Copies of this chain bind each other. A is one copy, B any other.
Amino acid sequence: MSRIASSRVLDVRFPTSLELDGSDAVNVDPDYSAAYLTLTTDAGDSGYGLVFTAGRGNEVVVAAIESAVALLPDADVETLLDDLGAVSKALVHDSQFRWIGPEKGVSHMAVGAVLTALWDLKARRVGLPLWELIANLTPEEFVAAVDFSHLRDAITEDEALELLRKAEPGKADRIAELKQTGYAAYTTSPGWLGYSDDKMVTLAKEAVADGFELIKLKVGGSVEDDVRRMKLAREAVGPDIKIAVDANQKWEVHEAATWIKSIGDPDIHWIEEPTSPDDVLGHARIRREVSPIKIATGEAVQNRIIVKQLLQAGAIDILQIDSTRFAGPNENLANLLLAAKFGVPVCPHAGGVGLCELVVHFSLIDYAAVSADRDGRVIEYVDHLHEHFVDPVVVERAHYLAPAAPGAGGEMREESVARWTYPDGPGWAELFESGAFTR
């Protein structure tokens, strides 16, 4: 038997605003950051979790993770890992802590980091990548990991069991297939709004050469820019490559359709985050108005209850789960179940810091154990900051390889963490000294 002996939460930030990597109509100057948690047991092993942020505010999430760790039930590690469904409910529904959410924003993401670290530890202890651990759960074990509260008007435990049991036949084959073929990726790397036209065109051509069949452009800054960039991108990639666009919540509900139509490309593959992620009814209206163009959202959706409503309202064609916005793996399993119930494909959001490493597991779980389908499903890929991870994702011929290393994927390299801890790491000290950044 072992106990959690220590926890460490660090404010790690990368100065991405210098190059406008990750810039879009709303996130104009992000410094991609992580509130990074290490839980270490008195047996000497560790689990790793993180929350991705855009810079300022990362320190608040650090504080929240420290508080969420303090809410862990007083039990042996083995007891905790044996029922992570119970742990997730204890953290999410803590009778006092819940007030500051409930189940949303800083406190919810912090709980997610703790749960990610625990699942990571559990997977390491059995020597499996997280996706394979979870894909091999029995339907009963899978359901026990999920919090169905406020979901049962859309999916009950029994319906979830039925759905998972239906996916049992062929599961071993699909797991083997995933290990062989990986999972399709698309790339956002060409499309950041802060990039020049030339840089965008060059990167778009490179993406096609690398085998990507779908790229994504950021839009929503100005109609003129969007029209020009879309035209240039379409010329660069040709008619057979799909182009999705992403407005990052920029538009008012009633103006979205007009703007989208003004972009002037009849083959936009999807529109992502056309308006506030909180606006279920707004997404439903926009979807009606731009049909048959598809609507996608999810990266800033706060919890499974909004996901449920987006599906109930017929507001989205594609659900884009995020690996650090929700309350950890547990809530993303709920999201996979909801999407499968409503027949909506899951195409995860990734990029940021570690989001690719963490989220790939959930698409693999979805195919292996939940929807048993990967038609029309792709995982976002952005080629930034992977060098800071111990087990970085590998994308080859536009496919994520199935992670093979034990764990959930979020462990960062200690050299990176030391260098980029904010504000006192040497990387930041140098930037402050050079005047590139001011504190």
Contact = CB atoms under 8 A, between A and B. Distances in A.
Interface of A: 26-31, 53-61, 63-64, 67, 70-71, 94-110, 149-150, 152-153, 249, 252-255, 275-282, 285, 300, 302-303, 305-306, 308-309, 312-313
A4 to B, nearest CB: 18
Nearest to A148: B252
A60 B64 CA distance: 5
Given A96-B30, A285-B153, A278 B253 contact: no
Shortest 10 CB-CB distances between A and B: which pairs? A105-B105, A106-B106, A54-B99, A55-B96, A153-B253, A56-B96, A63-B63, A57-B100, A153-B254, A150-B276
Nearest to A109: B100
Given A153-B254, A253-B153, A30 B64 contact: no
Please state the number of chain copies in the assembly.
Answer: 2
B249 A278 contact: no
B278 A104 contact: yes
A152 B108 CA distance: 29
Given A252-B152, A253-B153, A53 B306 contact: no
Contacts of A58: 100
Contact of A278 (B28, B61, B303): B303
A110 to B, nearest CB: 8
Contacts of A26: 95, 98
Given A99-B53, A281-B280, A153 B312 contact: no
9 contacts: A30-B99, A53-B99, A57-B96, A60-B110, A104-B278, A149-B252, A150-B253, A152-B255, A282-B309
A281 B313 contact: yes
B105 A100 contact: yes
A254 B312 CA distance: 14
A59 B96 CA distance: 12
Q: By CB atoms of chain B within 10 A, which of A70, A281, A282, A302 has the most? A: A281
A60 B61 CA distance: 8
A276 B305 contact: yes
A260 B68 CA distance: 34
